Amino acid sequence: MTSTAPGTLTLRPLGLQGPGEAEVCGAVPGAQINGTQQTALRPLAGGPLAFGHCEAVWRSDGALERAVLERAILERAVLPLADLPDWAERRAPGQGRLAEALLERLSRPRSPLAGLSLDRPRIMGILNVTPDSFSDGGHRADPALAVRDGLAMLEQGADILDVGGESTRPGARPVTLDEERARVLPVVRALAEAGACVSIDTRHAAIMREAVAAGARIINDVTALGGDPDSLGAAAEAGVPVVLMHMQGDPQTMQQAPRYGHVALDIYDYLAARLEACAAAGIAAGQVVVDPGIGFGKTVTHNLQLLEQIALFQGLGCPVLLGASRKSFIGKLSRGEPAKARLPGSLAAVLFALQRGVQIIRVHDVAETRQAVDVWQAMTLAPSAFEAPDSAAPPLV
Active site residue ranges:
327, 362
Closest CA to 255 of 384, 168, 331: 168
Whole-angstrom Cα distance, residue 226 to residue 273?
11
Per-residue b/e over 27-63, b at no fewer than 16 CB within 10 Å?
beeebeeeeeebbebbbbbebbbbbbbbbbbbbeebe
Alpha helix ranges (H) inside 230-298? 231-238, 263-281
177-193 and 205-213 helices, crossing angle to 10°: 20
Pair 291, 321: CB distance under 8 Å:
yes
DSSP letter at 355 equals T
Contacts of range 297-301, beta carbons closer than 8 Å, 24 or more positions apart: 297/246, 297/247, 297/248, 297/249, 297/254, 297/255, 297/258, 298/248, 298/258, 298/263, 299/258, 300/329, 300/332, 300/333
